[in-house]
Amino acid sequence: MSTDLAGERRVALPTAADTAELGREIGTRLAPGDLVVLSGPLGAGKTCLAAGIGEGLGVEGPVTSPTFVIAREHPPLPGPLGGRGVVLVHVDAYRLGVGTQGDPDPRDVAAQLDDLDLDTDLTRAAVVVEWGEGVAEHLAPEHLLVRLDRSDASEAREALLRGPARLVGTARP
């Protein structure tokens, strides 16, 4: 895992297509061992961003919400169309109690995430956890946090990216 300096940036996302494009950009920077934690209210674009990340990695898709199965693995595309050889594990912690009524104990949710053996997946995959803020960060020594906010009046969103500069996109070549 890289130990580059922390970075932060804000990105305006006027449309869902812009959200997917940000995901593609993030996906091109991911490597096995990277953890991406997605945060935001319902409808903020977390799954759209995750789908873009899958496209940027070049994995088999489509990348859709794993809400009812909790976690879904997407291998790299085979052959000449293949991606960079990085597996994507896409997790949705919503059904683990995050985002539901009555604040769940983060320790309970973290224990349920541990039961999924995501730390093992991190040795060979990039892991994206929707609804993971406050419960998934312990899975890796560093992570990229993407907080999405959506305007009530339009489909416009804003993303706050915080984490290692190479993942945020603020690292200098």
Contacts of 77 (CB under 8 A, 6+ apart): 58, 59, 60, 83
Tell me the pLDDT tens digit for each residue of 32-90: 999 999 999 999 999 999 999 999 999 988 898 877 777 888 999 886 656 678 999 99
Instruction: Please give the mean pLDDT across all residues of the chain.
Output: 84
Give Cβ neighbours of residue 114 (< 8 Å, ≥ 6 apart): none
**Angstrom distance (rounded) from CA 122 to CA 86:** 11
Reduced to 3 states (helix: H, G, I; strand: E, B; else coil), residue 160 is strand
SS3 129: strand
Task: Calculate the CA dihedral of residues 4, 162, 92, 74 and round it to 10 degrees.
Answer: -40
Share of the chain above pLDDT 90, in %: 50
Burial zone of 28 (CB within 10 Å; 0-12 exposed, 13-18 middle, 19+ buried): middle
pLDDT digits (tens, 9 = 90+) for 122-140: 788 999 999 888 878 888 8
Q: What residues pair up with 72 in beta bridges, in sequence order?
A: 90
- Gap between the Cα atoms of 101 and 142, Å rounded: 29
Domain-embedded: residue 11: no
Q: Is residue 75 part of a domain?
A: yes
138 is a domain residue:
yes
Which domain CATH number covers 106? 3.40.50.300
Which residues constitute the domain of residue 155?
31-167
The pTM assigned to this predicted structure is: 0.85
User: Is 116 part of a structural domain of the chain?
Assistant: yes
How many domains is the chain partitioned into structurally? 1
Is residue 157 predicted with pLDDT exceeding 60? yes
| Number of other residues whose CB lies within 10 A of the CB of residue 44 | 21
Helices 46-57 and 16-27, packing angle to 10 deg: 40
Does 4 fall in a domain? no
